[in-house]
Amino acid sequence: MSRLTWVFVVLYMAVAAGYGGWRGPDVGSGWGIWCFLIPPVVWVAVVALVQWRRNPGWTTVKIALALGGFGAVGLGAVALGTAWVMAAITMMLSSEPIIRAALGAGIWIAVGTLSRLSAKPSNGVVPVEPEAPSEGET
């Protein structure tokens, strides 16, 4: 995953966490929570369009839509779950909606940033330190 994609996902999830904190126990009521499914659907449409431009044909679009659909469902489900979890966590910390929203978004940004910083390089190469020569070797 590229750094830009990672930033977008962390910001998307931070908004979901902030919304969950804002709504508190009422996070599941109303239609607002379903708005978090719109960005993954738009992302799937853009990916399908890019794939179709690279390789025109209905088969390419079907594959991109099928695979992207699974990704959109997964990302949307994680966003909904994050909103509900942050609603439950922040209800224990404060009764003010704005403070709960800031706490939810801040917690998620901290988690996303720490997970990015702790990730290993994706090139698969593990750095090896050279061994020091023993006393008899020069």
pTM of the model: 0.72
The pLDDT score that the predictor gives to residue 32 is 78
Residue 58 or 125, more confident: 58
125 assigned to some structural domain: no
**Does 128 fall in a domain?**
no
Please name which of 39, 42, 73, 44 lies closest in space to residue 61, comparing C-alpha atoms: 44
At 31-61, the pLDDT tens digits run 877 888 888 888 888 888 888 888 888 887 8
The answer to whether residue 87 sits within a structural domain is: yes
Q: Note down the domain range covering 73.
A: 3-7+11-113
Tally of CB atoms within 10 A around 97: 13
pLDDT in tens, 102-118: 999 999 889 888 888 88
Rounded to a whole number of angstroms, the distance between the first and last alpha carbons of the chain is: 45
Identify which of 67, 27, 28, 33 has the alpha carbon closest to the alpha carbon of residue 47: 67
Q: Is residue 108 part of a domain?
A: yes
For 83-103, the pLDDT digits (tens) are 899 989 888 988 888 999 999
